[in-house]
Structure 1
């Protein structure tokens, strides 16, 4: 039975929830101050709402990664925990504010809320331009890095790229572009493809992503490839021409996007995790508005095994 959704967690953006083999859920997201990385841990999805946030890393006062800590993601790769995030240099290094690069930190403890975090440095893509929103996934034994980055030769703010990884903090080989902003719904306010997330199911590898400005125009798109395809070949990927999740004006849920996928407590049901706003009267730049909230809903499937995202306001 369909029901209207309410936010799980208020004033967090770019949510990432992972269910680990220890039976716990782990949550991280951009905090409104953009100054740190926090984690939460709970036995249930609902429990994350009241779980005590633990700050595991804070930005330094100056230097190349001392401003605007964005979109952290927590992954357990090759026996250790990693958080991948983007951060900008201080104004004394770069006059322009939005000069993000990507970084990784590592924790070898069983519980990532315990122990210490080691700064692994930048994740170098070989392209020295604005980049952010990294995620990782393993397919047929190979660890991949997937992210958004600016190409100075392509109009727009960011495109989606993929590369294999040599280690969990180093890519191996040339980045391959999978998608760029090209449809009307991807270019409203800003021309953006960002926030990729991977779901492997029904013989396919799906990549969801977000596009357009971060106000009510923000929406989600979808790429997919066959499970046995070469994921580093752009021709392996099909891109849907229309958005799969967008603003629901009827119920007042605006600009859904920057999602992740996780599994429900039954171990099989796929849950879609995303942020959205509940009003449009934003004063100033939407980036600085704290009222992006976390929603969680079930993902459904059609007869061909393709995901059905539905509306951001209804489970």
Structure 2
């Protein structure tokens, strides 16, 4: 090869290496996914929510209506759009016999070119004889197409069963569900089996995956129900709901390797504590019966669930109609496991401020002082809602997720997370202009509302509000990626 070609090849190689190194040092390489923001609650009086993103560009949403008498469906091109989308009743309960009462927990799936809705129902003459059923539609638009009843899902026992869901792993489709097994003194356990010749038939052995036995799984009732699977990072993460459907309701987690046989109970490990539970700080009670979807850009997993905005319930919680559908982003720890955090406050969902020049590290509060840290635990310490600025429109104020009413503000150039005291000084100290990042496109910088030219930046592991000195170091310190 001529010397000029060799030199040119070396330049290209070095340039490529520098680009790769640059990418590794950039926020995008810090396993951050872009911020996605929604407004909660997404839908009032809709429990057991299921959102399915289809290849036609629509999100499909179904949930339990509090009258327990019908299956509803809506669609929109965005998750937030589901909040105002027209709702269609695609099926109503029978007047007599099977499928005549307690129409619960519908899920919509697209399998082999057709739509399927899995749901639970009691009999009109025996409302607690709950079993699992399936509807099928071949229409392109399931809101307008006809639905065929494919009947009941047969399991090894003719007992209380509900919350069927389906997923594929390594090319095999499975059914997951909750059921009361004879000889076990629980309300419901979790089971798995392979699907057979069609989406309403199981085949082969049925495996019991877990029995509610821990204290947080047995409050009020001994319950494991509402399974849902999220597949990431070489693992299967199976969430489920536990305990009574009041403020005790919460999510548990089973984990298996993606290469393991999911039909083997030994493949799964149960987390010893709930992974998502009531938060009195954010006024969210009894979060549970979740599903998963993905954000519009395809970069973030979204947790879909229901809860209530109050703890105290008069009478049977199942007769209280005010469970509502909510959504929030799933975050991922450095070890590849999901961190669901806490159910966030109503209103805009929060973001994290990830450092641009120190990948993987986020602004958090610690004893009220703001600092920069990786692998923040608890997650909510690093989550902030960017609300309308306390000093007026045109600015934003970062409000703590787990301490609502506490805001990121500067005091003597130090950044703290402190409770709003109502003064105009506090409002100004906690208000920032959201600017294009000093480090460039794809980042943001927060400029002090009452000290123009002063920006939120990190230095020495702490967070400050300091004057821009024009250096590249300052630009990097004062730029953040919203996650």
TM-score tier (shorter): over 0.9
Q: 2:333 aligns with which of 281, 290, 302?
A: 302
Instruction: Say which SS state the counterpart of residue 216 (structure 2) adopts.
Output: helix
Question: 2:230 aligned with 1:199, yes or no?
Answer: yes
What's the counterpart of residue 212 of structure 2? 181
1:172 paired to 2:203: yes
Q: Give me the TM-score of the superposition, normalised by structure 2.
A: 0.63
The runs of at least 4 aligned residues of structure 1 exceeding 2 Å deviation read 1-6
Report the Cα offset of residue 313 of structure 1. Answer: 1.9
- Match of 1:105? 135
Looking at CA atoms only, which structure, 1 or 2, has the larger radius of gyration?
2
Are positions 1:142 and 2:176 aligned together? no
Q: Indicate the SS of the match to 1:228.
A: coil
Kept in 1: contact 2:36–2:329 (CA 8 A): no
Distance 1:264 1:6 in 2: 15
Is residue 131 of structure 2 the alignment partner of residue 131 of structure 1? no
Residue pair 1:4, 1:313 contacting (<8 A) in 2 also: no
Partner of 2:343: 312
Of 204, 209, 215, the match for 2:246: 215
Greater relative contact order structure (CA < 8 Å, 6+ sep): 1
1:222-243 C-alpha deviation (Å, 9 max, x unpaired): 0011011011000000110100
- Once the two structures are TM-superposed, the CA of residue 190 in structure 1 deviates from its matched residue by 0.3
Please give the alpha-carbon distance, in whole angstroms, between the structure 1 residues aligned to 2:63 and 2:276. 20
Q: Return the offset for 1:126.
A: 2.2
> Residues of 2 paired with 1:2 and 1:88: CA distance?
39
Q: Deviations over 1:210-262 (max 9, x none)?
A: 00000000000000110110110000001101000000011210000000000
The partner residue of 1:231 within 255, 258, 262 is 262
Matches of 2:135 and 2:38 in 1, distance apart? 37
CA offsets 1:16-62 (integer angstroms, 9 cap, x no match): 00111111100000001100101000000000001011111101101
Inter-partner Cα distance in structure 2 for 1:144 and 1:114? 28
Per the normalisation by structure 1, the TM-score is: 0.96
Distance 2:321 2:92 in 1: 19
Match of 2:84 in 1: 50
In structure 2, which of residues 187, 212, 235 is the aligned counterpart of residue 157 of structure 1?
A: 187
How many residue pairs were aligned? 311
**SS in structure 2 opposite 1:282?**
coil
- Cα separation, partners in 2 of 1:51 and 1:234, compared to 1, 3 Å: same
- Relative to structure 1, is the Cα distance of residues 110 and 5 closer, same or farther in structure 2, using a 3 angstrom cutoff? closer
Counterpart pick for 1:116 among 136, 146, 153: 146
Deviations 1:237-295 (A, max 9, x none): 01101000000011210000000000000112000000000012211100010100111
What 5-or-longer segments of structure 2 have no aligned partner?
1-34, 351-483
Q: Is the 8 A contact 2:173 2:195 kept in 1?
A: yes
- Cα RMSD (Å): 1.4
Q: Look up the match of 1:27.
A: 61
Separation in 2, partners of 1:214, 1:4: 25
Matches within 5 A, 1:46-85: 46-85=80-119
Q: Is the alpha carbon distance of 1:213 and 1:61 closer, same or farther for their aligned partners in structure 2, counting shifts above 3 Å? A: same
